[in-house]
Amino acid sequence: MLHGKNILLVISGSIAAYKALELARLLRKAGATAHAVLTAGGARFVTKEALAGITGQRVHDDLWAAEAEIGHIRLARLPDAVVVAPASADLLAKMAHGLADDLASTVLLATRAPVLVAPAMNPAMWEHPATRANLAALRARGVAVVGPGEGAMAEPESGPGRLSEPAEIFTAIAALLAPAGPLVGRHAVVTSGPTHEPIDPVRYIANRSSGKQGHAIAGALAALGARVTLVSGPVVQPDPRGVTVVRVETAREMLAACEAALPADIAVMAAAVADWRVAREADQKLKKQPGAAAPTLEMALNPDILATVSAHAQRPRLVVGFAAETETVVQHAVAKRARKGCDWIVANDVSGDVMGGDANAVHLVTAAGVEDWPRMPKADVAARLAQRIAEDMA
Ligand code: C5P
């Protein structure tokens, strides 16, 4: 469950901080990588050396030192989940109010990963209206909370405020990362980006596809719980969260990767695959000969991935293709749907700024007819398409 996940463990000041060592050990044993950030208070209770030994990773405790080593934004973006254990009243207050005056609070403000807090404090502090309000604000923002438990405290007092046991926190992390949503249990194969068709070792033929739309669709399907294999041509897009990315260059490699990814329930072929490749790739760089004419490139047809997947023995139940046209968009899309044997076509007019841009106006062509969607950000097109796919699969 947690195998291969990156967990950022934020340890703030509490006598219970020693339990963070056991939590880090459990995470590593489960195949996760634990990265630790210590607040100044946390460093009073556990040492950097102990944490580094248990996690096998460099431990960060200073905003400016971390800046030189990794950068607080990278540290905030790298984990699949951020776990604050123990979470002191002070750190919870900082989180609730968006303060960012040390490494821990800065990372917590900068992260987009799900966050789990395991509070630990004296019962009076836990019951204080300020702490209650801070917790309520964090919960409302989607922060998950585990504990605190009741029982004997370090002081001769007892009541709520005891840090949850490491095993309990571990289970809460697993629950936080468990996929949820209408597409849980479904496998989707998504293609994205252009393909590069080599001419010689240094030259290739490509197109202007950025991969923005395809990557957004892969991320949107994963957000609904699908297991997603994204077969991507050469792009500069970051890998969408929770998606397995297979990188390819040519159309033939893309086809092989798609077939290898089957069986799947859903295929969304959003890549701008080159229709032709150079028939014979030169082994050596083509030389410009003085006085000689420019070379003529003989082209060969590439395989059609969408048509191949649509006719495959392991055809996904729903196959969605894309049609990028510069004229009579919908007519072409309707014809393409029939010709390729896919279920839906998402058609767009690429005569404007769609390729490489952030917005898209598409038409969804299905057996039932044509829907015209308004122009919206590519992320919204992706979310809406993923939602439609989930309804179709239900
Ligand atoms: O035929 P055309 O290239 O316009 O069709 C576009 C659709 O077909 C897109 O979904 C694209 O990903 C897919 N395609 C493909 N393999 C090709 C060419 C296009 O999968 N060789």
Tell me the domain boundaries of the chain.
6-177, 187-393
Q: What is the pLDDT of residue 314?
A: 97
* Cβ atoms of 12 and 86 closer than 8 Å: yes
How is domain 187-393 classified at the CATH fold level? Rossmann fold (3.40.50)
Q: What is the pLDDT of residue 71?
A: 83
Ligand 1, pocket-test mutation among 322, 337, 355, most atoms within 8 A of CB: 322
Q: What is the pLDDT of residue 371?
A: 95
Please tell me the pTM assigned to this model: 0.72
Q: Is 134 a catalytic residue?
A: no
Q: What kind and span of H or E run contains 210? A: none
User: Which of 173, 130, 174, 125 has its CA nearest to residue 153?
Assistant: 125
Q: With a 6 A CB cut-off, is 51 part of the ligand 1 pocket? A: no
Q: With a 6 A CB cut-off, is 210 part of the ligand 1 pocket? A: no
How is domain 6-177 classified at the CATH fold level? Rossmann fold (3.40.50)
Q: For residue 369, what are the β-bridge partners?
A: 366
- Cα–Cα distance for residue pair 141/234, rounded to 1 Å: 36
Q: What is the pLDDT of residue 209?
A: 92
Domains 6-177 and 187-393 share a fold: yes
Q: Indicate which residue of 134, 207, 302, 348 is catalytic.
A: 207
* Cβ atoms of 116 and 83 closer than 8 Å: yes
Query: Helix-strand-coil percent breakdown of the chain, rounded to 5?
Result: 35, 25, 40
Q: What are phi and psi of 16, to 5 degrees?
A: -80, 0
Q: What is the pLDDT of residue 156?
A: 75
Q: With a 6 A CB cut-off, is 8 part of the ligand 1 pocket? A: no
User: Which of 193, 92, 177 has its CA nearest to residue 133?
Assistant: 92
Low-confidence ranges of the chain (pLDDT < 70): none
Per residue in 253-293, pLDDT (tens digit) is 999 999 999 999 999 999 999 999 999 999 999 999 899 89
Q: What are phi and psi of 256, to 5 degrees?
A: -60, -40
Q: What is the distance in A from the centroid of ligand 1 to the CA of 202?
A: 25
